[in-house]
Amino acid sequence: MLKTPPITPSSRSIDNGQAGSILNIQYSVFLGVILNYCFRVDTVSTPTVRLLIDIINKPEALFFIFYFLLDWFTANIIQEMHLSKPSMLLVRIIWITLLGTLVISLNGDGLWKFLLISFYLIVSGLYDFGLMSKLFAGGEVGTQAVLGFLLSGVRLVLGLVFLVPTVFVVTGRSDVALEWDNPNSPFDLLFIISGLYLLLKIGRFKYLSSIAEARR
Amino acid sequence: MNIAIFSAVVLATLILTNIIAFLGRGKNTFLTYSFDPNSHITLRIALSMIGSIVGGGMFFGVGQIGFEAGITGYMIGISSLVGLFIAGTLSPQFRKAMQEEGVNNLIDLIERKFSARVAVAFSLVNGIIVFFFLAAQFLALYRFATFVSFDMGYGWIPWMLVFVVFVTLLFYPIIGGLRKDITSDCVQVTLIACMAIYFVFLFCSEKTFYTMWATLPVKHLTGAGYGVVFLIGVAFLYPAIFLVRMDVWQRIGAASDDRAATSAMKVAGVGSLLFYILFTSLGMWAYSTGITDAQNATLNIIAKVSSNPLIFGLVIGSLFAAVLSTADTNINNASLFFTRLLFPEQWRVALAKENTSNHTLLLKSRLLGLFLTFLSAGLAWESQDLVELMVGAFSLLLIFFPTVLGLLYPPWKSEKGAFFGVVLGVLCFLISFFTWNRKMAFLPGIAISALVYYVMCFFGQRTVCCKPQPERKAEMNYLISE
């Protein structure tokens, strides 16, 4: 007769590798959802693939698709460096869901997307600060530490800048928020700041990869 | 009668500042005058940091930004919050680095980490930047006196008050140094906070803020009033500035322990953000009420809403407190940078051992402070344009750009290039500033700095660091024993 192994506290909790696998599944599922929203395959006459993103008027949606991919890669590096506890898995899954929803909402016309963006970017900036503190806790202050904190700082500033249109959406001056999302305006800030945020994400990815490489 | 009440209130605030600054005067050494390490609790450091940020230049400058470009001033506040948060988070490491190298200030740390020449270049550029900031504080006083004297018809009284402020500046920052600077900042920031509470009350009453918010044009509310490049420049460059500011490092070192330094910087970040929001809002309020003078927007709106001489006196007293709180730090820093430049050997001896009272160096530093105060007052009188001075000060930081790039990318690192590039860049800036276009003077300065840096980097020998550590330690021992 087969005996069921006793459940110990260690067997109930998941390890770092399992947490990484679950995160990868979550990212891939959401990537599928995002791609489904971005492309449509027509098979009625000749099979064609249509891009549903309005690249001319809403390039920021495309930026954030790349951002999502980079976030996936970065999450793996963070997992590899054991900088995130497996117990925080649920929070991270919710976070990926929020990012996925944000990417999809960027292709729409609703102004409430600003609330979503500012919330996401501010919390990400604060999380980055915590990450850098963990990385350089008690260590020597070198160019790498300063650069890491500055990178997080600029990300946080850009996140806080997004509070501006959010406040105006909430207080009923949607004309200001519309100016932020106006492709014909020289101050199409949503496009410019999203682009910069993507560049910072690339910088952060390269930065964390170099640290992970050095620690291997 | 109104003028008498106004003058009495302003004079009372000045006297209060002086009394508190000189309460409990202890023995002053060069160390307490310059860096006063491990001596102050969180609240004092936080208030002092806020005081050195919130000054007369900010009173007018940020108000003008609010008037011309709306919430762009809020963005600067956000960047300063983040910059001070980074400085706070890194402050245990900064303190540890200073402790490990046996120094108590940024200049000496740069010398240890890089070389004596880079430290000289750093002192030179920062000395000039602080000197320009000091001139901006005097210009704020000059603006105030002109406005209240001519536009409000207060006659010679404002000029007399400005003279009293100037005389005050010749006393406590120069005699007391950093210790008195921090003490007096506490009372000055308390005064400014009282003024802030009064304005918050005004904003809340009669739906002022709501009306302003609803009537301002879109241009004032997007954050890109000065263009997108300005906004991005603020987001990318402004937080970094706090990591190389001498007054920030001074206060991190002066905090009683690591925790006090960290908390103080974070509290100061929140405080400075609130003041940026307040002054910007004042400028925006001035715009929404139909005032047309951008340069004096803050004063105009204050005069418009504060008809009571007692209130107006308190507000102007707070403006003076703001000028004093920044100017005293600038005087102290300018005198230290130039002391380090002119008397490096005596500097090392005076700071190498605690409890060393080097009276000669203290006297020299005080005299330098006195001289630079008069000189910057002269520059303010001669320039009379706040934006020229602020642009001059901030743009000088860009002369360091090639050096910073060299630090991040080692193959481009050149110690000789950093020294000669910075020195020649500064010289070129000064010549252009005084003989050519003042707002554009930074361009040839930066061009020369970059050119010299990269030419020397390309042709010269690329060095990694200065003297080896044992040699440096031997030199220090020799100086101490002397």
What mean pLDDT is predicted for residues A121-130? 90
Q: In chain B, which residue's Cα lies nearest the Cα of A176?
A: B218
- For residue B423, what are the contacts with CB-CB under 8 A and spacing of at least 6? B121, B124
Angle at B199 between CA B197 and CA B201, to 5 degrees: 70
Tell which residue, B111, B116, B118, has the closest CA to residue B403.
B118
**Hey, what amino acid is at A88?**
M
A-contacting residues of B 52-81, CB under 8 Å? Answer: 71, 74-75, 78-79
**Hey, what amino acid is at B429?**
F
The CA distances from residue B321 to B11, B12, B16, B138, B426, in Å, are: 11, 11, 10, 13, 32
Residues A161, B71: C-beta atoms closer than 8 Å: no
Task: For chains A and B, count residue pairs whose Cβ atoms are closer than 8 Å.
Answer: 86
Closest Cα of chain A to B60: distance in Å?
A: 23
Which residues in chain A have their CB less than 8 angstroms from residue B236's CB? 154
List the structure tokens of B481: 């024993």
Cα separation, B396 vs A49, in Å, equals 54
Q: What is the pLDDT of residue B266?
A: 94
Which residues in chain A have their CB less than 8 angstroms from residue B97's CB? 140-141
A contact test, residue of B222, B237, B238, B273 with most A CBs within 10 A? B222
B contact test, residue of A111, A128, A140, A149 with most B CBs within 10 A? A149
Q: Does A180 touch chain B (CB under 8 A)?
A: yes
Q: Does B239 touch chain A (CB under 8 A)?
A: yes
End-to-end CA distance of chain B: 63
Q: What is the pLDDT of residue B57?
A: 72
Q: Which of A133, A160, A189 lies at the smallest CB-CB distance from B222?
A: A189
Which residues in chain A have their CB less than 8 angstroms from residue B288's CB? none
List the structure tokens of B317: 């007293």
Q: In chain B, which residue's Cα lies nearest the Cα of A133?
A: B89
Residues A145, B90: C-beta atoms closer than 8 Å: yes
Q: What is the pLDDT of residue B472?
A: 46
Contact predicate B214/B207, CB 8 Å: no
A-contacting residues of B 197-226, CB under 8 Å? Answer: 213-214, 218, 221-224
Contact predicate B6/B312, CB 8 Å: yes
- For residue B181, what are the contacts with CB-CB under 8 A and spacing of at least 6? B48, B172, B173, B328, B329, B332
Tell which residue, B12, B20, B19, has the closest CA to residue B183.
B20
- pTM for the predicted model, two decimal places: 0.84
* pLDDT tens per residue, range A15-60: 777 878 888 888 888 888 888 877 777 766 676 777 777 777 778 8
Contact predicate B162/B174, CB 8 Å: no
- For residue A92, what are the contacts with CB-CB under 8 A and spacing of at least 6? A23, A75, A84
Residues A164, B71: C-beta atoms closer than 8 Å: yes
Q: What is the pLDDT of residue B220?
A: 87
Q: In chain B, which residue's Cα lies nearest the Cα of A130?
A: B89
Closest Cα of chain B to A119: distance in Å?
A: 16
Which residues in chain B have their CB less than 8 angstroms from residue A164's CB? 71, 74, 221-223
Q: Does B269 touch chain A (CB under 8 A)?
A: no
Partners of A39 in the beta sheet?
A: A51
This model of the complex carries an ipTM of 0.82
A contact test, residue of B89, B96, B215, B245 with most A CBs within 10 A? B89
Q: In chain A, which residue's Cα lies nearest the Cα of B230?
A: A187
Residues A141, B90: C-beta atoms closer than 8 Å: yes
Q: Does A192 touch chain B (CB under 8 A)?
A: yes
Q: Which of B214, B222, B407 lies at the smallest CB-CB distance from A143?
A: B407
Closest Cα of chain B to A98: distance in Å?
A: 25
Which residues in chain A have their CB less than 8 angstroms from residue B239's CB? 150, 153-154, 157
List the structure tokens of B286: 């001035």
Q: What is the CA radius of gyration of chain A?
A: 20
List the structure tokens of B291: 């005032």
Q: Does A153 touch chain B (CB under 8 A)?
A: yes
Which residues in chain B have their CB less than 8 angstroms from residue A154's CB? 82, 235-236, 239
Q: Does B39 touch chain A (CB under 8 A)?
A: no
Contact predicate B399/B422, CB 8 Å: yes
Q: What is the pLDDT of residue B379?
A: 84
List chain B pLDDT tens, one digit each, 482 residues. 567 777 777 788 778 877 776 775 567 788 888 888 888 899 999 999 998 888 777 888 888 889 988 888 999 999 999 999 999 988 888 888 888 888 888 888 888 877 788 788 888 888 888 888 888 888 888 888 888 888 777 788 888 888 888 888 888 888 888 888 888 888 888 888 888 888 888 888 777 878 888 888 888 888 888 888 888 888 888 888 888 888 899 999 999 999 999 999 999 999 999 999 999 999 999 998 888 888 788 888 888 887 777 787 788 878 888 888 888 888 989 999 999 988 888 888 887 765 555 788 888 898 999 999 999 888 888 776 766 677 777 777 777 777 766 665 566 667 778 788 888 888 888 888 888 877 677 778 888 888 888 888 777 654 444 444 444 454 444 444 43
Residue B301: enclosing H or E segment and its boundaries?
helix B297-305
Residues B82, A156: C-beta atoms closer than 8 Å: yes
- Asked if pLDDT for residue A150 goes beyond 60, the answer is yes
Contact predicate B158/B144, CB 8 Å: yes
Q: What is the CA radius of gyration of chain B?
A: 22
Which residues in chain B have their CB less than 8 angstroms from residue A146's CB? 90, 243
Cα separation, B197 vs B314, in Å, equals 12
Closest Cα of chain B to A13: distance in Å?
A: 33
Q: Which of B218, B228, B239 lies at the smallest CB-CB distance from A150?
A: B239
Written as one string, the DSSP assignment of B313-359 is HHHHHHHHHHHHHHHHHHHHHHHHHHHHHH-HHHHHHHHHSTT---H
Q: In chain A, which residue's Cα lies nearest the Cα of B244?
A: A146
Closest Cα of chain B to A167: distance in Å?
A: 11
Q: Which of A129, A141, A160 lies at the smallest CB-CB distance from B97?
A: A141
